[in-house]
Amino acid sequence: MGFPINSYTRSGEIYSRALKVIPSGIYGHQGPAEGCFVPVSAFPFFSERAKGSYFWDADGNRFIDYMCAYGPNVLGYNDEEVDEAAAKQRAKGDCITAPSSIVVDFAELLTDTVASADWAFFAKNGGDATTLAVITARAHTHRKKIVFFKGYYHGVAPWTQKVDYPGILEEDVANNLYVPWNDDEKLAQVFEENKGEIAAVISQPYLHGNFADNQLPAEGFWQKVRKLCDDTGAVLIIDDVRTGFRLDLAGSDHFFGFEADLICFCKALANGYNVSALCGKDFLKNTLSGITFTGSYWLSAVPFAAGIACINKMKRVNLPKLLLEKGTALKDGLIATAKKHGYDLRVSGAPALFYLRLADPEGGGTPSLMLHQRWIAEMVKRGIYVTNHHNHFLNYSLSDDDIKTTIEVADEAFSVL
Amino acid sequence: MGFPINSYTRSGEIYSRALKVIPSGIYGHQGPAEGCFVPVSAFPFFSERAKGSYFWDADGNRFIDYMCAYGPNVLGYNDEEVDEAAAKQRAKGDCITAPSSIVVDFAELLTDTVASADWAFFAKNGGDATTLAVITARAHTHRKKIVFFKGYYHGVAPWTQKVDYPGILEEDVANNLYVPWNDDEKLAQVFEENKGEIAAVISQPYLHGNFADNQLPAEGFWQKVRKLCDDTGAVLIIDDVRTGFRLDLAGSDHFFGFEADLICFCKALANGYNVSALCGKDFLKNTLSGITFTGSYWLSAVPFAAGIACINKMKRVNLPKLLLEKGTALKDGLIATAKKHGYDLRVSGAPALFYLRLADPEGGGTPSLMLHQRWIAEMVKRGIYVTNHHNHFLNYSLSDDDIKTTIEVADEAFSVL
């Protein structure tokens, strides 16, 4: 017992100012309006600084951070190796009329690293990559329909949204087909019912939706999907934006024993420097060359320098192995601590991106959202930044001591529930 | 006579490597596939470094740069004031789980600076801002149709493209209406024919299309558009991505004497640091708060610090006045030099974003694309980076000597035509 309880006075004051000049105050996945911070009062709204596995909020509270900026922070905040490479490039130039040749170095490194990458195309948002993937698949196949797995997230472009969302039209999603995750029979049926009309299947490597246990692929599932695509000429798009490099440096498709036709990267690509990538197979390269797709900062050099340093360091330290070990130790420790207090903590997804859910102690595994939220709140108020409805992210700089502290805080949080 | 002629051996070698691992080698508006570099042999493909008004290519050739990275470079490359503010923020943190409070400072500065901005929402691409503007207009009006002016460019999202572009569906553009620029009678007719169905008009503040003289608004045009929107409840969206801050720090709508409902900024916002913004009126703030729109790096702190420093410096030096003066001196000098050699150089658009076209010397103003391209090639080969089909961009660090050199090179380029 005895971890100090945070207060968030200054965060609250800044949030009041924010509400006047920014819609929602804080928007999107980092904002309370999205429900990320339920119960809101337990979470800090604004950060002041960050280093390694920690960030400090506007009130000076320190957090062991298990969200890693929702993914980009893969080596630790302000990693010296990455920051030095970026600073060196910045002194030469960043966003210039003619691109720096470092874009070629980065593309060569990615095609050497990622098993299914014959080429690389760089942009800024994960959603730029998923949108370009869908356009490329449609241009290549001259077909319209795209298969999604229910519970998907592929960014915020209109084609990824739902028709009942504000401002989204039925035309935006008119060619979307939805299939339950891991249901290869239903998928085969949808292909049969839409013969010759399916341009692509787009999917995360495993299902990491919100407010639900994450689900790994069933044995042989990916091989069946791959075969259906091959048999029908549909393009297989893997959205590796969240999972990329955390499971396997050669791509999460490689991790699960298959090859994508197009694979989308973003978050862990450059340790927080602003870049995303679409990589793919040679047979789609010419098609993509004919598509007009560009943006103001897409060939800026600094994120490429950061990306090269980030990938080289991830390789050198064997990041996926290390995150698996850290994630497994953390997961086992949290489950055992819960059990000690009579609680049933379910941890799903890959250990490097663990999803937490506290089940009803009396209910044989039934979810207990309120209980779970209360526990998460007790963790966050004591400086462990976890969330109640989203997968988490580990990073290289998280220490064994950090994990030990996390489990000690969990012990106290369970005891006060 | 006697300016040295550039050669591009190393650029060519790098481009050969690029073609193997990047679709098109260099893609988008910075790539030769888009026709930016016609005639290709005159232009450098890759840069090595940049400072102030110059960049140096991979072969060490120096250019006085009139493209400014297609806009972002508004103060000069590696502006020390902006870079220092960015570096200070980077030492604290950039892309963090909870956003830095500097996002609020930036939003407050923008709402203080831009006349039609009651709030600000930040993203990464100009296209993120235009897409969010269209979604917001549709959500607010519960209508589908969007009016474009022919010759428009609002990014590369599917809704902005043409149905005959690869991978674009008729559904993507099913609700687009097209009206000729400056034609308020046709616009009124389109509103009449689509009564109660038009969600928004989206437009640049003036027409700055490619391969065509740029066209300023006719007297009273914007006031008529504004009234049509007011009378019908349509949202008026101004795409100030290229022109923003170069005409008027209060927005290009303010410059032309009207107020937009939504205004999109990007390029000149942070001197090359990666940020875009949608600003707008209070009556749309709640609607936008209900829209799910976010991205991995959208609340990163470093570009906000750069943006604050950039806007403060643009205010202090009265950037629009200065760019008007530099642009006018350059334009007058180029036209006079052309005339001296018997050529008819047409300069259109705002002087800060001048568009060049060499007319047929015998043809009474008829465009002469081949002659123009040859002249542009002679300029670029002598270290003046201009282009043959796109508006140009001026920046603060461009000196009177740079302008003098540019006119001297133009003199030589006309003499060898």
Look up tokens 């928007």; give the residue: A27
Give a yes or no: residue A74 inside a domain: no
Considering the domain architecture, whether residues B225 and B103 belong to the same structural domain is answered as: yes
Instruction: Select from B60, B236, B88 the least CA-distant residue to B148.
Output: B236
Contact between A300 and A155 under an 8 Å Cβ cutoff? The reply is no
Considering the domain architecture, whether residues A195 and A293 belong to the same structural domain is answered as: yes
* pTM recorded for the entire structure: 0.98
Give a yes or no: residue A92 inside a domain: yes
Give a yes or no: residue B75 inside a domain: no
CA distances for A89 relative to A94, A220, A301, B208, B323, angstroms: 7, 45, 7, 33, 29
Predicted local confidence at residue B1, as pLDDT: 64
User: Which residues in chain B are closer than 8 Å to A17, comparing Cβ atoms?
Assistant: 104, 108
Q: Is some CB atom of chain B closer than 8 A to the CB atom of A107?
A: yes
Helices (H), A196-291: 221-232, 252-255, 285-289
Domain holding B394: CATH number?
3.90.1150.10
Predicted local confidence at residue B31, as pLDDT: 84
Decide if B169 and A161 are in contact by the 8 Å CB cutoff. Answer: no
Find the helix packing angle between A302-316 and A102-113, rounded to 10°: 30
C-alpha B379 chain-centroid distance: 22
Predicted local confidence at residue A132, as pLDDT: 98
Give a yes or no: residue B342 inside a domain: yes
Determine the residue among A11, A17, A21, A165 to mutate to test chain B binding: the one whose Cβ has the most chain B Cβ atoms within 10 Å. Answer: A21
When CB atoms are compared, the residue of B272, B276, B296 closest to A95 is: B272
Considering the domain architecture, whether residues A311 and A346 belong to the same structural domain is answered as: no
When CB atoms are compared, the residue of B83, B165, B292 closest to A156 is: B292
Residue A318 scores a pLDDT above 90: yes
Predicted local confidence at residue A368, as pLDDT: 80
Count the neighbouring beta carbons within 10 Å of the beta carbon of residue A248: 20
Give a yes or no: residue A70 inside a domain: no
- In sequence order, the β-bridge partners of residue B239 are B264
Domain holding A300: CATH number?
3.40.640.10
What tens digit of pLDDT does each residue of A173-221 get? Answer: 999 999 999 999 999 999 999 999 999 999 999 999 988 999 999 999 9
Give a yes or no: residue B302 inside a domain: yes
Distance from CA of B284 to the nearest CA of A (A): 9
Predicted local confidence at residue B388, as pLDDT: 87
Higher pLDDT, B299 or A417: B299
Predicted local confidence at residue A36, as pLDDT: 61
List strand residue ranges (DSSP E) for A351-395, in order. Answer: 355-359, 384-385
Considering the domain architecture, whether residues B307 and B173 belong to the same structural domain is answered as: yes
Question: For a pLDDT cut of 70, what percent of chain A falls above it?
Answer: 98
Give a yes or no: residue A281 inside a domain: yes
- In sequence order, the β-bridge partners of residue A50 are A55
Radius of gyration of chain A (CA): 22
Predicted local confidence at residue A360, as pLDDT: 76
Residue A19 scores a pLDDT above 70: yes
Considering the domain architecture, whether residues A400 and A284 belong to the same structural domain is answered as: no
Report long-range pairs for A248-251 (Cβ below 8 Å, ≥24 apart): A248/A320, A249/A113, A249/A114, A249/A311, A249/A314, A249/A315, A249/A319, A249/A320, A250/A113, A250/A114, A250/A115, A251/A114, A251/A115, A251/A116, A251/A117
Q: Chain B neighbours among A 359-378 (CB < 8 Å)?
A: none
Identify the domain containing residue A352 by its residue range: 9-65+319-416
Considering the domain architecture, whether residues A125 and A60 belong to the same structural domain is answered as: no
What tens digit of pLDDT does each residue of A116-158 get? Answer: 999 999 999 999 999 999 999 999 999 999 999 999 999 999 9
Considering the domain architecture, whether residues B107 and B195 belong to the same structural domain is answered as: yes
Whole-number Å distance between alpha carbons of A327 and A323: 6
Predicted local confidence at residue A251, as pLDDT: 98
Q: Total domain count for chain A?
A: 2
What tens digit of pLDDT does each residue of B313-354 get? Answer: 999 999 999 999 999 999 999 999 999 999 999 999 999 999
Residue type for position A160? T
Residue type for position B146? I
Whole-number Å distance between alpha carbons of A48 and A60: 7
- In sequence order, the β-bridge partners of residue B215 are B207
Domain boundary among A255, A287, A316: A316
Considering the domain architecture, whether residues B221 and B342 belong to the same structural domain is answered as: no
Domain boundary among A257, A284, A316: A316
Distance from CA of A257 to the nearest CA of B (A): 24
Decide if A101 and B48 are in contact by the 8 Å CB cutoff. Answer: yes
Count the neighbouring beta carbons within 10 Å of the beta carbon of residue B170: 11
Predicted local confidence at residue A34, as pLDDT: 61
Low pLDDT (below 70) residues in chain B: 1, 33-37, 361
Considering the domain architecture, whether residues A326 and A283 belong to the same structural domain is answered as: no
Domain boundary among B301, B316, B331: B316
The predicted complex's ipTM stands at 0.97
Considering the domain architecture, whether residues A138 and A33 belong to the same structural domain is answered as: no
pLDDT confidence band for A325 (50 / 70 / 90): very high
